[in-house]
């Protein structure tokens, strides 16, 4: 009976020297190390070098560019994770902070982050003047802003829904807060967090393309990376180079999906809280490899040792519950102070913004911007409606056929990850060649990348429809319009709404790049808030950037609150099949 | 058993005059435990028996240090309980295992929290796993285990910290009958042999037979507010046999105790004295199918109108938590009398049983509006209004003068369900509106 648990460790190094899986694992790990070494080369070189060593469209450079870009994305992901663990935890643990932090997160989640890039670039460049590092920070920060919010939100929601009995068990076995965090809260949040990390990674490609090559006013920065490569290709009008870039991205997405996310998702499956043996167990060859190699066992032991060691060092749990009770009594006064402070901070912020805008912009301009925002809103709504008409029936058709789902679902998810801004040059080319109206024909670009959210959510909804329900509908002889109206559409509604919200938010963001697109030296412009912000960015006019972003944020938040959110709750309450 | 003088000093736990109330949304306080006294001595298993809402689980949480009393004292080994004490461990109804930890890791967690040495943790964890019969399952994840095995992990996890008091919150109620019995027997064997590192046990249960089978002393709880109705010493020698006449007698006695008028809702009895009110009692959500089913069963042979509740419970395989609400709803609607552990149909109850669906609905509607004050109240409001419609929030607000938020919601849901069967008034959940759209 003794030592059963530790036996694997003891005999591990005696058995044989190396299994096949160990060899593969070593190759992969060394490969990763090389990649990091390659990618971080040149970080500390002065900015001048960037201009003396210009980017080249030669595809030979693409692996290096791709490595740099990927490194940036993962650096941003690590940052997002750090942000998630601190910000979301604070929001979930402190009722006082929660009141402020959660709405902030909600707003950040729905405002057009793309508009902020120009502002942050200047900030980071001034932090590390004259060095590439500043531009790197700016790019990483831009990518971070496209990844962090939904991760933090998911983590916050998980923390709020930790089952009571597990919390009681943790308390009754006197786990310290630190131990609780790593042994209960993080594992519980893991599946949702992983899923959101994947979504974030996909979404951030769009920003990579937009953030690596930035020009604010007179400053032009092009960091080596796929995004800059694409920008250069657009500038020089090289369709071939665009093709190479697309191929590179495809390979990179495939690689990190297979090597990193699939293993993570499979591994994360063990943290699912519903205790029943799941029907569908995801698989990953990379995880199998890692698990069968001893390297992983060793790594895991190290990780556990760290948790154990830090748990030992962490303060012991408070024995006195009464402390918290007196805290709530004292809390009244602290609450008052806290709110007072908040009011002050908000007043200060309003004053600063107002002063900045009032001096430089007029009511006339504000009204004009509101008009432009209405135009963009109209575009987004029409496009979402059109995309829904196309993709909902197709999604339902696919979702009800398991074999079709298996083929279409990954493709749709890949297309959602694919940065649609890569295809913009083609559209500009078309508009210029056939002399089309940009107000109409630039619009589809806004939804090019985001429509897939509708498709794959609807597919998921249709696939999740209970088989018995479908049989019952068949048995009752429901078909045609009646079937769509009473069975299919209500069945996928909650999923559709989720997809449409994501698509709508993404489209607003995309407006900033889609309403003002260029190919070589030709620029095509549609009337809208996106074009306004893009133009202000190019001109380095911060007053107009802020006015534009503030207006867009207001519109997005207002639409979310008045339309999407009620619709979401309605769909969840009435149509969620559980 | 507690004759020797040294056992008096071995008092493990003393609960004195404990009250617990929760704040209500309107700012008032809702009393859930009223002046509870309890003493646990070494070598005893004390059972807290009562229906849901009788505050027994709240009391257990107070003892565990997961919550604190509004007034009164709790002392463990003579020292006041403040926060989770290291000498008290708990077994949960839903197991509360960490699904991402293996059996071994789950068991070891409590020791890790105490910052023990790794070797000592392993030794003690494996010993606990061994004791509770989980050998060979060390590396399994909880989801791979059956309910019975999961609860064994729950026991091992509690025992590994060597607690003086083991708290058990309905530990067998999530298991099937056979598994539950196996676990009970195994537990009692280990207890009798003194193999477990514990000195006393508090068992929360709503299963009367389980309480009689396992406990040395049973505290019967009444609801609203939760309070101790009576204390029953069980002196039958272990191992006890369910079919033993003394055992049956004791079960019958507790049934009588729990169905006596004073066990019920003390607060509603109080409010009934105030003229014009009476909507203040918490109603359980009971399906009309269950009501009709119980009436039919009692009306049919062999019962012919009068049935022994323990017999009905075992015939229908219902726990008291399921059976009592049905019986009490029938009593409230004057379809039956529940007294002395028996349920007896009234003449109206018999005629309900013998009617067809339409006739049943008519009788049901008449009784609902005559004897359920809340239903009558809602109907009156709807009748008086020109629009014949009223918001749900209106009634929720009224109910919350008498009860907590959840109870108000549950009570209104219960009345809605009864009224729908009776076709007394309609309710539209999407708009949260009551109306007379399809009255009788």
**pLDDT tens digit sequence for B241-289:** 888 888 888 988 888 888 775 555 544 444 333 333 467 777 888 888 8
Query: Which residue's structure tokens are 């077994």?
Result: B91
Q: Nearest residue on chain B to A188, judged by CA atoms?
A: B100
**pLDDT tens digit sequence for B384-414:** 888 888 998 888 888 887 777 788 888 899 9
| Residues of chain B neighbouring A169 (CB-CB closer than 8 A) | 90, 92, 96-98
CATH topology (fold) of B289-354 = Arc Repressor Mutant, subunit A (1.10.10)
Nearest C-alpha of chain B: how many angstroms from A578? 18
Select from B113, B118, B154 the residue whose CB has the most chain A CBs within 10 Å, as the one to mutate to test that interface: B113
Which residues touch A423 (CB under 8 Å, ≥6 apart)? A445, A448
Look at strands B200-205 and B45-49 and give their pairing. parallel
Look at strands B71-76 and B45-49 and give their pairing. unpaired
**The pLDDT value given to residue B319:** 78
Q: Taking the alpha carbons of B136, B142, B144, B148 in that order, is the dihedral positive or negative? A: positive
- Please give the radius of gyration of chain A, using alpha carbons only, rounded to the nearest integer: 26
- Binned at pLDDT 50, 70 and 90, residue A577 comes out as low
Closest CB to B113: pick one of A173, A190, A318: A173
Which residues touch A276 (CB under 8 Å, ≥6 apart)? B143
Pairwise CB contact (< 8 Å): A319 & B83: yes
Closest CB to A319: pick one of B67, B82, B143: B82
**pLDDT tens digit sequence for A388-415:** 999 999 999 988 888 888 788 777 777 7
Q: Nearest residue on chain B to A187, judged by CA atoms?
A: B100
Pairwise CB contact (< 8 Å): A4 & B430: no
Share of chain B above pLDDT 90, in %: 18
Q: A54: buried, middle or exposed (CB in 10 Å: 19+, 13-18, 0-12)?
A: exposed
Nearest C-alpha of chain B: how many angstroms from A397? 30
One fold for both A25-315 and A361-575? yes
Report d(CA A511, CA A424) in Å as an integer.
12
Closest by CA position to A275, among listed B137, B134, B150: B150
- Binned at pLDDT 50, 70 and 90, residue A292 comes out as low
pLDDT over 90 at A377, yes or no: yes
- Binned at pLDDT 50, 70 and 90, residue A359 comes out as low
| Residues of chain B neighbouring A173 (CB-CB closer than 8 A) | 84, 89, 109-110, 113, 157, 161
Q: Which of A92-106, A222-236, A504-518 has the lowest mean pLDDT?
A: A92-106
Which residues touch A315 (CB under 8 Å, ≥6 apart)? A176, A177, A178
Select from B82, B91, B99 the residue whose CB has the most chain A CBs within 10 Å, as the one to mutate to test that interface: B99
Pairwise CB contact (< 8 Å): B84 & A184: no
Q: Which of B308-317, B373-382, B411-420 has the lowest mean pLDDT?
A: B308-317
Other CB atoms within 10 Å distance of the CB of residue A228? 25
Average pLDDT over residues A428-455: 84
What are the DSSP calls for B228-279, one per residue?
A: EEEEEE--PPSSP-TTSHHHHHHHHHHHHHHHSGGGS-HHHHHHHTSTT---
Pairwise CB contact (< 8 Å): A325 & B68: yes
| Residues of chain B neighbouring A9 (CB-CB closer than 8 A) | none
**The pLDDT value given to residue A15:** 35
Report d(CA B254, CA B259) in Å as an integer.
9
| Residues of chain B neighbouring A183 (CB-CB closer than 8 A) | 98, 101, 109
- Is the domain spanning B9-259 CATH 2.40.50.100? The answer is no
Which one is predicted more confidently, B340 or B344?
B344
Closest CB to B143: pick one of A179, A277, A308: A277
Nearest C-alpha of chain A: how many angstroms from B280? 29
pLDDT over 70 at B215, yes or no: yes
Q: Which of A58-62, A131-135, A427-431, B36-40 has the lowest mean pLDDT?
A: A131-135
Look at strands B200-205 and B165-169 and give their pairing. parallel
Beta pairing partners, B389: B435
Domain boundaries, chain A: 25-315, 326-359, 361-575
Q: Phi and psi at residue B56, in whole multiples of 5°?
A: -70, -35
**The pLDDT value given to residue A194:** 85
Pairwise CB contact (< 8 Å): B110 & A174: yes
- Binned at pLDDT 50, 70 and 90, residue A7 comes out as very low
Closest by CA position to A235, among listed A46, A428, A398, A371: A428
CA A256 to chain CA centroid, Å, is 15
Report d(CA B185, CA B191) in Å as an integer.
10
Closest CB to A168: pick one of B96, B136, B143: B96
Which one is predicted more confidently, B26 or A365?
A365
pLDDT over 60 at A17, yes or no: no
Closest by CA position to B294, among listed B246, B255, B327: B327
**The pLDDT value given to residue B256:** 83
| Residues of chain A neighbouring B95 (CB-CB closer than 8 A) | 165
State in words which class domain A25-315 has: mainly alpha
**The pLDDT value given to residue B153:** 93
**pLDDT tens digit sequence for A35-57:** 555 555 555 455 555 554 567 77
Which one is predicted more confidently, B120 or A498?
B120
Pairwise CB contact (< 8 Å): B66 & A320: no
Q: Nearest residue on chain A to B81, judged by CA atoms?
A: A320
Q: Taking the alpha carbons of B143, B146, B150, B152 in that order, is the dihedral positive or negative? A: negative
Report d(CA A380, CA B37) in Å as an integer.
66
**pLDDT tens digit sequence for A58-111:** 888 888 889 989 999 999 999 999 999 999 999 888 877 777 777 777 767 766
Q: Please give the helix or strand (H or E) that residue B73 lies within, else none.
A: strand B71-76
ipTM above 0.85, yes or no: no
pLDDT over 80 at A424, yes or no: no
Q: Are A121 and A221 in contact (CB under 8 A)?
A: yes
Pairwise CB contact (< 8 Å): A179 & B113: yes
Report d(CA B362, CA A389) in Å as an integer.
50
Report d(CA A405, CA A395) in Å as an integer.
9
Q: Please give the helix or strand (H or E) that residue B205 lies within, else none.
A: strand B200-205
- CA distances A133 to A87, A125, A220, A504, B274, Å, are 26, 8, 15, 34, 78
Query: Which residue's structure tokens are 């709790």?
Result: B74
**The pLDDT value given to residue A105:** 75
**The pLDDT value given to residue A357:** 65
Report d(CA B361, CA A573) in Å as an integer.
30
Look at strands B71-76 and B165-169 and give their pairing. unpaired
Average pLDDT over residues A258-265: 79
In chain A, % helix, strand, coil (3-state, to 5) comes to: 80, 5, 15
| Residues of chain B neighbouring A308 (CB-CB closer than 8 A) | 112, 118
pLDDT over 70 at A8, yes or no: no
Average pLDDT over residues A530-544: 81
pLDDT over 50 at B5, yes or no: no
**pLDDT tens digit sequence for A447-485:** 887 888 888 888 888 888 888 888 888 888 787 888 888
Which one is predicted more confidently, A6 or B76?
B76
pLDDT over 80 at A514, yes or no: yes
Report d(CA A541, CA A365) in Å as an integer.
14
**The pLDDT value given to residue A38:** 54
Q: Are A433 and A237 in contact (CB under 8 A)?
A: no
Closest CB to B130: pick one of A1, A183, A187: A1
Other CB atoms within 10 Å distance of the CB of residue A396? 23
Encoded tokens for B14: 């003393």
| Residues of chain B neighbouring A190 (CB-CB closer than 8 A) | 100
- Segments of chain B assigned to CATH 1.10.10.10: 289-354
- Binned at pLDDT 50, 70 and 90, residue B166 comes out as very high
Report d(CA B100, CA B412) in Å as an integer.
40
Closest by CA position to B251, among listed B238, B232, B230, B264: B232
Pairwise CB contact (< 8 Å): B96 & A322: no
Q: Please give the helix or strand (H or E) that residue A60 lies within, else none.
A: none
Look at strands B217-222 and B227-233 and give their pairing. antiparallel
Look at strands B426-428 and B306-308 and give their pairing. unpaired
User: Distance between terminal CA atoms of chain A?
Assistant: 44
**The pLDDT value given to residue B240:** 87
Q: Are A290 and A25 in contact (CB under 8 A)?
A: yes
B295 cis-preceded (ω within 30 degrees of 0):
no
Report d(CA A335, CA A328) in Å as an integer.
10
- Is the domain spanning B275-283+372-440 CATH 2.60.40? The answer is no
Which residues of chain A have a Cβ shorter than 8 Å from any chain B Cβ?
A: 1-6, 163, 165-166, 168-169, 171-176, 179, 183-184, 187, 190, 270-273, 275-277, 308, 311-312, 316-322, 325, 574
Q: Are B248 and B308 in contact (CB under 8 A)?
A: no
| Residues of chain A neighbouring B113 (CB-CB closer than 8 A) | 173-176, 179, 311, 317
Taking all residues of chain A, what is their mean pLDDT, rounded to a whole number?
Answer: 76
Other CB atoms within 10 Å distance of the CB of residue A236? 10
- Is the domain spanning A361-575 CATH 3.40.50.2300? The answer is no
Nearest C-alpha of chain A: how many angstroms from B4? 32
Report d(CA B71, CA B37) in Å as an integer.
12
Beta pairing partners, A516: A525
- In degrees, rounded to 5, the angle at the alpha carbon of residue B273 between the alpha carbons of residues B270 and B279 is 75
Closest by CA position to A493, among listed A566, A544, A568, A400: A568
- Binned at pLDDT 50, 70 and 90, residue A371 comes out as very high
Taking all residues of chain B, what is their mean pLDDT, rounded to a whole number?
Answer: 84
pLDDT over 80 at A279, yes or no: no
Closest CB to A320: pick one of B66, B82, B100: B82
- CA distances B202 to B152, B206, B345, Å, are 17, 13, 37
**pLDDT tens digit sequence for A170-228:** 988 888 888 889 889 998 888 888 878 887 887 788 778 778 877 665 667 788 888 88
Pairwise CB contact (< 8 Å): A311 & B89: no
Which one is predicted more confidently, A269 or A514?
A514
Crossing angle of helices A164-172 and B56-64, in 10° steps, is: 40
Nearest C-alpha of chain A: how many angstroms from B118? 10
Report d(CA A13, CA A78) in Å as an integer.
33
Closest CB to B84: pick one of A165, A171, A271: A171
Encoded tokens for B407: 């109870």
Report d(CA B62, CA B204) in Å as an integer.
13
Query: Which residue's structure tokens are 């329900």?
Result: A469
Pairwise CB contact (< 8 Å): B66 & A171: yes
Report d(CA A552, CA A536) in Å as an integer.
14
Pairwise CB contact (< 8 Å): A172 & B114: no
- CA distances A17 to A10, A20, A22, Å, are 14, 10, 9
Report d(CA A555, CA A551) in Å as an integer.
6
């Amino acid at each position: 009976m003794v030592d059963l648990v530790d036996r694997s460790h003891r005999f591990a190094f005696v058995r044989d020297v190396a299994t096949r899986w160990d060899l593969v694992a070593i190759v992969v790990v060394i490969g990763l190390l090389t990649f990091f070494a390659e990618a971080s080369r040149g970080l500390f070189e002065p900015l001048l070098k960037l201009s003396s060593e210009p980017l080249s469209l030669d595809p030979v450079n693409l692996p290096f560019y791709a490595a740099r870009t990927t490194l940036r994305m993962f650096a941003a992901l690590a940052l997002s994770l750090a942000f998630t663990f601190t910000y979301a935890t604070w929001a979930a643990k402190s009722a006082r902070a929660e009141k402020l932090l959660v709405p902030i997160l909600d707003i950040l989640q729905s405002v057009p982050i793309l508009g902020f890039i120009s502002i942050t670039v200047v900030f980071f460049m001034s932090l590390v003047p004259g060095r590439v590092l500043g531009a790197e920070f700016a790019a990483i920060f831009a990518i971070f802003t496209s990844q962090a919010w939904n991760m933090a939100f998911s983590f916050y929601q998980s923390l709020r829904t930790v089952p009571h009995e597990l919390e009681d068990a943790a308390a009754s076995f006197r786990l310290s807060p630190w131990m609780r965090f790593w042994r209960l809260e993080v594992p519980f949040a893991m599946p949702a967090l992983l899923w959101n990390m994947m979504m974030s990674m996909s979404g951030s490609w769009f920003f990579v393309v937009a953030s690596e090559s930035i020009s604010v006013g007179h400053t032009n920065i092009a960091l080596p990376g796929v995004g800059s490569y694409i920008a250069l290709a657009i500038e020089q009008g090289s369709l071939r180079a665009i093709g190479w870039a697309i191929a590179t991205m495809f390979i990179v997405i495939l690689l990190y999906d297979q090597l990193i996310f699939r293993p993570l998702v499979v591994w994360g499956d063990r943290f699912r809280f519903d205790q029943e043996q799941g029907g569908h167990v995801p698989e990953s060859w990379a995880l199998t490899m890692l698990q069968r190699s001893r390297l992983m066992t060793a790594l895991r032991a190290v990780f556990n040792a760290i948790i154990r060691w830090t748990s030992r060092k962490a303060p012991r749990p408070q024995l006195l519950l009464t402390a918290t009770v007196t805290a709530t009594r004292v809390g009244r006064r602290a609450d008052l102070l806290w709110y007072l402070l908040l009011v002050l901070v908000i007043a200060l912020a309003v004053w600063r913004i107002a002063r900045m805008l009032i001096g430089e912009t007029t009511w006339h301009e504000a009204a004009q911007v509101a008009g432009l925002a209405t135009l963009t809103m109209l575009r987004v709504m029409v496009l979402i409606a059109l995309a829904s008409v196309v993709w909902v029936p197709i999604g339902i058709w696919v979702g009800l056929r398991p074999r079709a789902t298996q083929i279409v679902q990954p493709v749709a998810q890949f297309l959602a990850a694919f940065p649609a801004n890569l295809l913009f040059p083609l559209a500009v080319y078309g508009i210029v060649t056939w002399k089309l109206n940009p107000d109409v024909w630039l619009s589809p670009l806004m939804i090019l990348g985001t429509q897939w959210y509708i498709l794959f959510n609807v597919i998921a909804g249709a696939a999740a429809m209970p088989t018995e329900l479908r049989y019952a509908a068949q048995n009752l002889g429901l078909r045609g319009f009646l079937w769509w109206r009473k069975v299919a559409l209500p069945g996928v509604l909650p999923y559709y709404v989720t997809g449409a919200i994501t698509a709508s938010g993404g489209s607003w963001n995309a407006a900033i790049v889609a309403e003002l697109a260029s190919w070589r030296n030709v620029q095509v412009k549609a009337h809208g808030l996106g074009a306004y912000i893009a133009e202000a960015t190019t001109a380095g006019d911060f007053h107009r950037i802020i006015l534009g972003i503030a207006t867009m944020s207001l519109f997005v938040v207002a639409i979310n609150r008045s339309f999407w959110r009620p619709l979401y709750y309605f769909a969840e309450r009435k149509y969620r099949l559980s | 058993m507690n004759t020797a003088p040294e056992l008096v000093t071995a008092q493990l736990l003393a609960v004195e005059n404990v009250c617990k109330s929760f704040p209500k949304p309107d700012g008032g306080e809702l009393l859930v435990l009223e002046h509870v006294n309890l003493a646990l001595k070494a070598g005893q298993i004390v059972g807290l028996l009562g229906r849901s809402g009788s505050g027994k689980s709240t009391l257990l949480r107070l003892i565990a240090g997961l919550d604190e009393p509004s007034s009164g004292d709790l002392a463990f080994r003579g020292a006041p309980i403040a926060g989770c004490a290291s000498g008290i461990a708990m077994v949960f109804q839903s197991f509360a295992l960490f699904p991402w930890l293996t059996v071994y890791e789950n068991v070891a967690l409590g020791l890790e929290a105490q910052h023990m040495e790794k070797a000592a943790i392993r030794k003690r964890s494996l010993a606990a796993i061994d004791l509770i019969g989980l050998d060979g399952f060390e590396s399994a994840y909880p989801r791979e285990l059956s309910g019975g095995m999961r609860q064994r992990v729950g026991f091992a996890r509690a025992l590994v910290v060597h607690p003086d008091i083991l708290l058990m919150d309905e530990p067998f109620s999530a298991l099937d009958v056979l598994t539950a019995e196996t676990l009970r027997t195994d537990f009692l064997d280990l207890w009798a042999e003194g193999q477990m590192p514990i000195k006393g046990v508090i068992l929360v249960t709503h299963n009367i037979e389980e309480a009689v089978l396992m406990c040395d002393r049973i505290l019967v709880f009444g609801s609203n507010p939760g309070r101790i109705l009576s204390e029953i010493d069980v002196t039958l020698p272990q191992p006890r046999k369910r079919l033993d006449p003394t055992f049956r007698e004791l079960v019958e006695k507790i049934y009588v105790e729990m169905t006596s008028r004073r066990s019920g809702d003390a607060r509603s009895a109080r409010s009934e004295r105030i003229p014009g009110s009476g909507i203040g009692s918490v109603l359980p959500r009971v399906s009309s199918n269950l009501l009709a089913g119980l009436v039919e069963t009692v009306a049919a042979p062999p019962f012919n109108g009068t049935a022994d509740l323990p017999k009905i419970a075992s015939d229908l395989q219902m726990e008291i938590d399921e059976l009592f609400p049905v019986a009490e709803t029938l009593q409230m609607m004057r379809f039956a009398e529940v007294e002395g552990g028996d349920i007896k149909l009234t003449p109206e109850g018999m005629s309900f049983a013998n009617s067809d669906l339409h006739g049943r609905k008519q009788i049901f509607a008449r009784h609902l509006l005559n004897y359920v004050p809340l239903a009558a109240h809602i109907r009156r409001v709807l009748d008086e209004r020109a629009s014949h419609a009223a918001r749900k929030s209106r009634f929720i607000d009224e109910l919350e003068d008498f009860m907590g938020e959840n109870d108000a919601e549950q009570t209104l849901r219960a009345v809605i369900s009864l009224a729908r069967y009776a076709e007394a008034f309609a309710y539209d959940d999407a708009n949260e509106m009551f109306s007379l759209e399809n009255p009788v």
